Structure 1
Amino acid sequence: MQGWKAAVLGACTVAAAVGEASRAPFGTLPDGRPVEEVTLSNGTLTARIIAWGAALRALHVPDRDGHAADVVLGYADLASYLDKPNYFGASVGRYANRIRDGRFSLDGKTYTLATNDGPNSLHGGKEGFDKKLWTIAHLEGGATPSVTLSYVSPDGEEGYPGTLTARVTYTLSAPDTLRIEYTATTDKPTVVNLTNHSYFNLAGEGSSRSVLDQRVLIPAEQYTPVDATQIPTGERAPVAGTPFDFRAPEVIDARIRDGRDVQIVRAHGYDQNFVLADAPTDALHLAGRVEDPASGRVLEVATTAPGVQFYTGNMLDATAVGKSGLVYRQSDGLALEPELFPDTPNQPAFGSARLDPGGTFRNVITYRFSTLAPTDRTVR
């Protein structure tokens, strides 16, 4: 695991003149607005980002034999993103994850949000940032191709105070690394929590294999248990002795069916926030590592966020048809979402999600890919 830190800090050398960035039509919204797709390529990785939801639609990554496959879930057409969003690859906000009862208070005033997950608000509400058309603000080729997209959320949208200007930049920052940086500013006090909601399957999204035989490492000593509505109780519980201990690589399938643990039962699998730090950090730290012994692909996720939500696609129900023409079923993808803790605006012990005028929200995420040794093809 030692290689991840050097890579994300820029120690890798990027060959010049191999990077490409281009844009093309992807579809048209019912109101007539065109949606574009940007393709970034550096000779090793190819990423495709659509302006609808500023979403990572595809990410082609080589396996141990050099064969590339698309390792994120998504759709072939815009209509599917509108019909069954599922947050595939989306930039989610204004507040990623859940807020209890769709309410929070700021400076003595209570704000009521749109609820879309039982009694709670999830990923920004009924029409969060994943369901907005972002503007392609800047496109750059060269050795580190990138695209920056922006979205201005008006004061009161989905119940949130303040006009929020959000930006996300996708960069192929090294031959093996996709870097995502979220920033946001506001004109009045508000709360904000932006992240990316890509579902990964290192076997390939069209492989017909689930992620259950893939290995996960999450370097967290604690996680935040939730109640029956998936809202944190406020406790930071130790992972030791529980199905949530991923401090050493563990096959997902080993404990995902542990019916003795109420957290597994409530979430229908893994859907928990893991504690990486007490607060956002300036430097990147490891959030998780995923290994697919069959293909040899390895993903290392680093971030500046204090938490990471590990989700095993529990609600995928075979009604969404993916890019390869296959239906996506439960556990066909996993998400590692670096972010502030769920319900932080209502839980002071979790820190602060507040953003004031003059300040800048920032969340940096890197996805670094490598491969296992040819001899490591077994699930352990």
Structure 2
Amino acid sequence: MLTVGRTPDGRDVRQISLRGGGLTATVLTYGATLQSLRCDGHSHSLILGSPDFSAYLADMHHFGAIVGPVANRVAGGRFELDGITYRLDRNENAQNTLHGGSAGFHTRVWEVVDHGPAHCTLTITQADGLGGFPGDLQVSARYSLEDDHALRIDISGQAKAVALFNPAFHGYWNLDGSRDLSGHRLKIAANSYLPLDANLIPAGSPQPVQDTPFDYRFPRPPDPALDHNFCVAPRRGSLREVAQVTTSGHRLALETTEPGLQVYAAGQTTSGDWPGHDGIPYGCNAGIALEPQLWPNAPNRPDFPSARIEAGQQIVQTSRFRFALGAG
């Protein structure tokens, strides 16, 4: 492992290198962040990121990170659990809590507890009250490069007390190294999605995708304004394929255990002044985030799949990103 930087409070950040299954990857201990992922025979990274760690302290703070303890948005930065009202860090426009708030998983330096040629496991403890969230969680994230050109991500949480647990991997994909997603096509195995209000909070119940701009049951270009949850299952279950991204002979297939897939086409996201891989600055729509998770604002929606985790319970979220790349 290499030391590649230091956080503002003086913690060393290390870089882990992995190789296996025709893939190479680098992972940062800051945010358990997948910094790069490359396929043999292709020079470009399949995931957006930067060789400069400082970028992850600035505009690229969610790029490739594990976010939580509750990914996506919690409306009003508050929820009720067992009769107690919890008030969270409202880090999005002083209204909502986004991706665990300003002390979320993506801001933490994780400990490496296992590291082999093609895998690594990192852990953190989510203390009771951090960011306003209840409970005491032991969290781990394991990255594995598997033989079928697949990246597997297992995120687990074990609770000492009743808590909330809905993490997500927040990587942005671009399969051909182009400046935007104009040549990409998206397919999602979902018959329904969640409409949003003006604050990007789910409004009402799931609605059919048929005859709407959110029908991706057949491949088509992703709408640059996408930032929506697709209801791919009613509850967490076994691994199944939920989405594909294709372009110019390249394909990414996503399998997950989760009932929701947040799709964000990075319409409001750039790398700012920070260079990405190969010195390329990322503009809007430079990559697409496919975030397996529960449905947004679940702590305030008893009709949604629950983010509750009981004392002594362990929950594991698994996703596999499988690649088939054509000639370089």
Q: Confirm or deny a common fold (TM above 0.5).
A: yes
State whether residues 60 and 68 of structure 1, in contact with CA within 8 Å, keep that contact through their aligned partners in structure 2.
yes
Partner secondary structure for residue 290 of structure 1: strand
Superposed CA RMSD? 1.4
- Structure 1 residue 67: deviation in Å? 2.8
State whether residues 234 and 347 of structure 1, in contact with CA within 8 Å, keep that contact through their aligned partners in structure 2.
no
Which residue is equivalent to 1:287?
242
- Structure 1 residue 195: deviation in Å? 1.2
Is 1:345 aligned with 2:321? no
Q: Tell me the amino acid that sits aligned with residue 114 of structure 1.
A: D
- Structure 1 residue 235: deviation in Å? 1.5
Cα distance in 2 for residues equivalent to 1:181 and 1:68: 27
Number of residue-to-residue matches in the alignment: 325
Is 1:171 aligned with 2:126? no
Which residue is equivalent to 1:309?
262
Q: Tell me the amino acid that sits aligned with residue 223 of structure 1.
A: Y
- Structure 1 residue 33: deviation in Å? 1.9
Per the alignment, do residues 45 and 318 of structure 1 end up closer, same or farther by CA in structure 2, a change over 3 Å counting? closer
Is 1:192 aligned with 2:165? yes
- Structure 1 residue 321: deviation in Å? 2.4
Is 1:71 aligned with 2:24? no
Which residue is equivalent to 2:128?
155
Partner secondary structure for residue 229 of structure 2: strand
Is 1:45 aligned with 2:23? yes
Cα distance in 2 for residues equivalent to 1:68 and 1:220: 33
- Structure 1 residue 85: deviation in Å? 3.1
Q: Tell me the amino acid that sits aligned with residue 370 of structure 1.
A: A
Unpaired stretches in structure 2, ≥5 consecutive residues: none
State whether residues 233 and 259 of structure 2, in contact with CA within 8 Å, keep that contact through their aligned partners in structure 1.
yes
Cα distance in 1 for residues equivalent to 2:82 and 2:21: 50
- Structure 1 residue 318: deviation in Å? 5.6
Which residue is equivalent to 2:286?
332
State whether residues 135 and 164 of structure 2, in contact with CA within 8 Å, keep that contact through their aligned partners in structure 1.
no
Is 1:212 aligned with 2:185? no
Partner secondary structure for residue 285 of structure 2: coil
Aligned counterpart in structure 2 of residue 368 of structure 1, from 311, 322, 327: 322
Cα distance in 1 for residues equivalent to 2:221 and 2:196: 23
Deviations 1:157-202 (A, max 9, x none): 0000111110010011224011000000111111111110000010
Aligned counterpart in structure 1 of residue 196 of structure 2, from 226, 233, 243: 226
State whether residues 40 and 47 of structure 1, in contact with CA within 8 Å, keep that contact through their aligned partners in structure 2.
yes
Per the alignment, do residues 44 and 278 of structure 1 end up closer, same or farther by CA in structure 2, a change over 3 Å counting? same
Q: Tell me the amino acid that sits aligned with residue 156 of structure 1.
A: G
> What TM-score results when the alignment is normalised by the length of structure 1?
0.83
Partner secondary structure for residue 150 of structure 1: strand
Is 1:183 aligned with 2:136? no
Aligned counterpart in structure 1 of residue 62 of structure 2, from 82, 87, 101: 87
Unpaired stretches in structure 1, ≥5 consecutive residues: 1-22, 258-268, 375-380
> What TM-score results when the alignment is normalised by the length of structure 2?
0.96
Aligned counterpart in structure 1 of residue 234 of structure 2, from 278, 302, 327: 278
- Name which one, 1 or 2, has greater alpha-carbon Rg: 1
State whether residues 93 and 128 of structure 1, in contact with CA within 8 Å, keep that contact through their aligned partners in structure 2.
yes
